[in-house]
Amino acid sequence: MSLTKIESDKVEIANSAETIFTYLSDFNNFGALMPSQVTNWQSTVDECSFTINGMATIGMKIIDKAPHSKISISSNGKVPFEFKLFVLITEKDASNCVGQLTFESDLNPMLKMMVEKPLGNFFNLLAQKMKDIK
């Protein structure tokens, strides 16, 4: 097993790092960002679970927050494999920032081949949706 790292595109967001961080620090807001292939969305402020069509049900929890720059999320045991997900926010100026999602997991080569492309697409979709946060 080796560490698999999947990074979304870096997305320019016309909003402050503080606004984006505050919004994404609450899983109840994440539901609005989910693409159509996500079903059964359930959330509290710090935990969520959902199903990606054709894949497993995923559960996550926020484990750490670095104000306005990083939200660290981990799997909560209700997943086929353990992982960490980082929401990275880089402030450009008072009303603009850059967002990116980085996923890390120890996956066996077979699982990596199966999930790398769909997860990459999923994280890019989420990153693009960060532009829509008001």
| pLDDT for position 45 | 97
The Cα–Cα gap between 18 and 97 comes to 9
Closest of 1, 5, 2, 3 to residue 120, by C-alpha: 5
Strands (E), the chain: 2-7, 11-13, 38-43, 47-52, 57-66, 70-75, 84-93, 96-107
The Cα–Cα gap between 95 and 41 comes to 30
35-90 confidence digits (pLDDT tens): 888 999 999 999 999 988 777 788 999 999 999 999 999 999 878 789 999 999 99
Give the bridge partners for 13, in sequence order: 97
For residue 14, the domain's CATH number is: 3.30.530.20
Question: What's CA 110's distance to the chain center, in Å?
Answer: 23
Per the structure, the complete domain to which residue 114 belongs is given by 2-132
Total domains, the chain: 1
Sequence letter at residue 65: K
Query: What distance, in Å, lies between the first and last C-alpha atoms of the chain?
Result: 40
pTM of the model: 0.93
7-42 confidence digits (pLDDT tens): 999 999 999 999 999 999 999 999 899 988 899 999
